[in-house]
Structure 1
Amino acid sequence: MPKRYHQFWNSRRGAGRPACAPLSTRNPAMPASLCHPNPPSRRQFLAGAAAFGLSACGGGGGEAPAAPPGIHSFVAEPVAVGEPARLTATFTGGTGRIEPDIGPVQSGVPVSTPPLAAARQYTLVFEAAGQPAARRTLELVPQYRNRYVALATPLPLQYHAAVNALDGSVIVIGGSRGMSTTSEAVDRFDPATRQFTRIASMATGRTGHTAHRLPDGRILVLGGQVSLATAVQAELIDPVRGTVTLAGRLAQTRNRHAGVTLDDGRVLVVGGFWRDSVELWDPASLSFRLVPARMRHSREFPSATLLADGRVLIVGGDHVDDVDVPAEVFDPRTERFEPVAAPVDAPLRYFHKAIRLADGQVLILGGERRDGLAPPAPLASVLRFDPATQTLTSAGALERPRSLVRGVPRPDGSVLMFGGDGPGDAATASAGRYREGSGQALGPMPAGRAWHTVNALPDGRVLILGGDAPDGSPSGGGLIYE
């Protein structure tokens, strides 16, 4: 018998005392004080021994005390841009719900969020009787997988336009679609199915045009080339009804121009080949009107960016004049141009990208240097425009020189860029991210392309369509960056 059970037996038997026999049979020589009057039965002994053993091992004593009501954990698995996140909450003694989007949840049961395009906060709210609600918050920051998914497009695309529609689809307009043909096609790309569908046709095919979404969702298409001539007639696309109507004639022919939709629904058309003028399109009268004031010089391939106060920042553009004015601001209310202060060494640029940030400032990214008779060269430099001081200042550099810049802004203030021309005037497959003064290389596309279009999709992924291959031929198909 183990020692501890022997000790227990002795304690129950009276320190080893034998059981007391009846007086008639008891040994008279044994004092009554040395015998145990009530010895335990075998069942009592085994039960007591078990209890003694559990006590010696630290067990027994009933169930462990219950955890107090409250939140124990709220966690998420890593999530990629455009995909749902999985959240798991554990809690006891009450009920839980996750805000926003999800609602009531069970402890320990994973739930999924909608697809995440950008950083988003979710809060677990725990409620129990007799105590205030408790909260725990997670910030989910989805990351790109840094890969490309190939799309099957109906035909190769060059010199087309692509506009984000109000419903999240992308409207692809005109361009050259193989065999040097100028297309009048209007197609819709559906991000959910990743399919292209023909929805309408313009009156004539065109290339090198611009397309501008109006507040009501219609799209104004203007300028560019029609066969060997410059297009004068504008057209208005209704992507909901699938119709195209004529929308007036430009006051001057425009090619290699820029345009922007104003807050009141009018469209400002800026510059173009040998043009120092701007004109305004009125949606009420479907007509264009030439503005009397002129820019400081002609601007070919400039950028035009709507500012938060309703004015328009016009930057760069190639020209043949003797004076270089890097930028100016047009005020639609006064129809006058205002000067912009710029660094003395800031080169005049074109083929750049201008993007307005959430704080109202504007980034001018890359482009091509115009420097007299010197060969054109792509730029890596970045400028920042501050509307409050109306100045351009240096803002660091891209990860590499890049012209024909195509990119999209991200909610975190960064800009993603894909392709364009690099050194040697060759279409590049490179991609990069610019943020807070510096550039970072992303995974390259499968092949180089320039003159393509880049559109942000509602789920945060990026649509890349068409363009020129490095040998100048049409770049086949499209890509989704995710």
Structure 2
Amino acid sequence: MAPRFVRSTLLAAALVSLTPACGEKEVRPALDLLTASCAGTQPLAGVTHLRFRVTGPGIDTPRERVSTVEWAQEDVPALPPGSARVLEVRAYVGAPGQGGQLVSVGRTAPFDVAEGQAPKVRVFLRRLGEFVPVNLASDPRTCSLPAEARAAHTATTLPDGRVLITGGYLPEENGTRLVSGTTEVFDPADGTFSPGPDVGARAFHTASLLPDGRVFLAGGAESFAPVSLQSTARLVDVATGAVSELTPKVARYQHSAAVDAAGHVLLVGGRAAEGSGVFTAEAFDGASGRFVEVAGEVRRVDTTLTVMADGRTFLIAGGADTQGPVAEVVAVGFSGTDLERLTNVPPRLRVPRVGAAVAVLGRPDESPRPLLMGGFDDVDPTLDARAVGASEVLEDVMAVSDGPALMPRSNPCAVSLADGRVVALGGRGTGIGTTYAVPWAELITPYAGAQATVLGLTLMPQPRVWHTCSALPDGSVLVVGGVDDSTGEPRANTEALVVMPQPRD
């Protein structure tokens, strides 16, 4: 039977032991282990054993200790000094190594350990694969809700692990869409949402994380009745609360953006207020804080834009021009402030698609490559365009290969995890002359020299489209907002959910 406690704290800050092999002073951390949730299956339901596991640079073999569920302070391994230490807690029904089933996992964000100084760390233990509402650290059985229901917003994971949630619209059952100019900051360390700065009403905009930690917001619609576009961009420093207003050359929404290692933000595609395509490309230079001229056009709407592992090559894949879906994958990069096309004969997609998603698959040591997922095979799903199930790997500027088969949907939310896997959530499916939000969730795992595998996760509690999914420092995924129109009437998804995927190792 699972114990009744929901929080246990190891008060071991004074415990210091010597490592015989190297003489370094090791410390046992003060662990705040949260073992309750505000909904769903409780993390310790049926649990009999815990495994404490420490990893990090310089720790060649993970340090592990196994205890019963009634753990004591000495069950947590001592930590050697160093940076980016991670303490993981795994919960089992039955003894691990003797057929026990892993059912819950929690991890710290990476933290530093100074010699002789025991850090205080916190772990939210979460049931594997279940979508549950975010809970508070101060009261784990209480759910934490965003201040606003949002769809077509952005969510940006900041360097410190917090998530900046920006703009979007409120889906009303009568079809009204009121656009928001507010922001919220989610702190995964305590499970709270707090208000951020106003950034001007915008939905279907883009948010790009710059190398210095600031967030660049561009474009978006500021109203839908009738459609009018946000004419400004914002540069947001969440750490200081500073917001700078900028003016791009072109107003657009439903466009794509990506940022390279040098801090250039490329904006392509999108739509004008009357619905026509915006083919003028534009770029923002994060180093100078100015927009720079970009020659030529990118004749795409509903396209994807990503940066390859080299940190400088942008790939434009999918989308449609005035004639229909476009198969060519275009590679471009900056030379100074000039944007150059990198190939004269671009590779072609096996399945041209509109409204796809892209995320990088693979760890840095696994030759990471962008994976293109979903989309419609034509422009208008009410005129027989069908959702695409095939995915494609953007190998390099010269080649595209087949990826794994996924559930067919357009506009899924896709996010790369720190361990190299990709999670794809929700999106829009197709019926006869109609589209609808779907609850599908898939976990995609790469393998060297072999096809990636796909694991279907538990369905989300509600179908969602125009939502966001963000990788959190503990390996879980935060899902915020979106709209559920699967029953014919749009309904706002008001809860923020979190899901912990099965560990990769």
- The aligned residue for residue 68 of structure 1 is none
**Residues 363/351 of structure 1: CA separation in 2 closer, same or farther (3 Å cut):** closer
- The aligned residue for residue 415 of structure 1 is 422
Bigger shift: residues 161-170 or 322-331: 322-331
Percent identity between the two aligned chains: 26
Q: Does 1:378 align with 2:425?
A: no
- The aligned residue for residue 183 of structure 1 is 180
Does structure 1 retain, via aligned residues, the 8 Å contact 2:319–2:326? no
Please state whether the residue corresponding to 1:362 is helix, strand or coil: strand
**Residues 357/349 of structure 1: CA separation in 2 closer, same or farther (3 Å cut):** farther
Does structure 1 retain, via aligned residues, the 8 Å contact 2:52–2:87? no
- The aligned residue for residue 339 of structure 2 is 335
Does structure 1 retain, via aligned residues, the 8 Å contact 2:325–2:379? no
| Inter-partner Cα distance in structure 1 for 2:61 and 2:402 | 42
| Inter-partner Cα distance in structure 2 for 1:417 and 1:284 | 33
Q: Any gaps of 5 or more consecutive residues in structure 2?
A: 1-34, 38-42, 44-48, 54-58, 66-72, 78-85, 90-105, 109-124, 135-144, 272-276, 446-450, 501-505
**Residues 391/118 of structure 1: CA separation in 2 closer, same or farther (3 Å cut):** farther
- The aligned residue for residue 458 of structure 2 is 443
Once the 2 structures are TM-superposed, how far is the Cα of residue 403 of structure 1 from its aligned partner? 1.4
Normalized per residue, the structure richer in helix is 1
| Inter-partner Cα distance in structure 2 for 1:328 and 1:200 | 36
The aligned amino acid for 1:303 is: T
| Inter-partner Cα distance in structure 1 for 2:354 and 2:360 | 15
Alignment of 1:165-204 (within 5 A): 165-177=158-170, 180-202=177-199, 204=200
Alignment of 1:306-455 (within 5 A): 306-309=307-310, 310-321=312-323, 324-333=326-335, 335-337=339-341, 338=343, 339-342=345-348, 345-358=350-363, 359-370=367-378, 374-387=383-396, 390-398=398-406, 400-424=407-431, 425-435=435-445, 436-455=451-470
The aligned amino acid for 1:229 is: S
Instruction: Provide Cα deviations, 1:258-303, integer angstroms capped at 9, x if missing partner.
Output: 11112111211111121233111123443323311223xx211211
**Residues 407/118 of structure 1: CA separation in 2 closer, same or farther (3 Å cut):** farther
Does structure 2 retain, via aligned residues, the 8 Å contact 1:155–1:178? no
The count of aligned residue pairs is 366
Q: Does 1:111 align with 2:76?
A: yes
The aligned amino acid for 1:460 is: G
**Residues 386/144 of structure 1: CA separation in 2 closer, same or farther (3 Å cut):** farther
| Inter-partner Cα distance in structure 2 for 1:214 and 1:101 | 35
| Inter-partner Cα distance in structure 2 for 1:426 and 1:411 | 31
Once the 2 structures are TM-superposed, how far is the Cα of residue 198 of structure 1 from its aligned partner? 0.5
- The aligned residue for residue 478 of structure 1 is 496
**Residues 439/245 of structure 1: CA separation in 2 closer, same or farther (3 Å cut):** same
Q: Residue 220 of structure 1: which of 204, 208, 216 is its match?
A: 216
**Residues 201/372 of structure 1: CA separation in 2 closer, same or farther (3 Å cut):** closer
TM-score, length-normalised on structure 2? 0.65
Does structure 2 retain, via aligned residues, the 8 Å contact 1:277–1:290? no
Please state whether the residue corresponding to 2:179 is helix, strand or coil: coil
**Residues 85/300 of structure 1: CA separation in 2 closer, same or farther (3 Å cut):** farther
Does structure 1 retain, via aligned residues, the 8 Å contact 2:320–2:379? no
Does structure 2 retain, via aligned residues, the 8 Å contact 1:466–1:478? yes
Superposition RMSD in Å: 3.5
Instruction: Provide Cα deviations, 1:122-166, integer angstroms capped at 9, x if missing partner.
Output: xxxxxxxxxxxxxxxxxxxx9961112114221211111110011
Once the 2 structures are TM-superposed, how far is the Cα of residue 181 of structure 1 from its aligned partner? 2.5
Please state whether the residue corresponding to 2:159 is helix, strand or coil: coil
The aligned amino acid for 1:278 is: A
Instruction: Provide Cα deviations, 1:342-381, integer angstroms capped at 9, x if missing partner.
Output: 25x4223323334353313221112221268952211110
**Residues 266/87 of structure 1: CA separation in 2 closer, same or farther (3 Å cut):** closer
| Inter-partner Cα distance in structure 2 for 1:220 and 1:396 | 33
Alignment of 1:15-414 (within 5 A): 86-87=51-52, 110-111=75-76, 114-115=87-88, 145-151=128-134, 152-177=145-170, 180-202=177-199, 204-227=200-223, 228-246=227-245, 248-273=246-271, 274-295=277-298, 298-309=299-310, 310-321=312-323, 324-333=326-335, 335-337=339-341, 338=343, 339-342=345-348, 345-358=350-363, 359-370=367-378, 374-387=383-396, 390-398=398-406, 400-414=407-421
Instruction: Provide Cα deviations, 1:159-194, integer angstroms capped at 9, x if missing partner.
Output: 111100111010111112466322111211011221
The structure with the largest alpha-carbon Rg is: 1
The aligned amino acid for 2:259 is: T
Instruction: Provide Cα deviations, 1:213-232, integer angstroms capped at 9, x if missing partner.
Output: 11111111111111231122
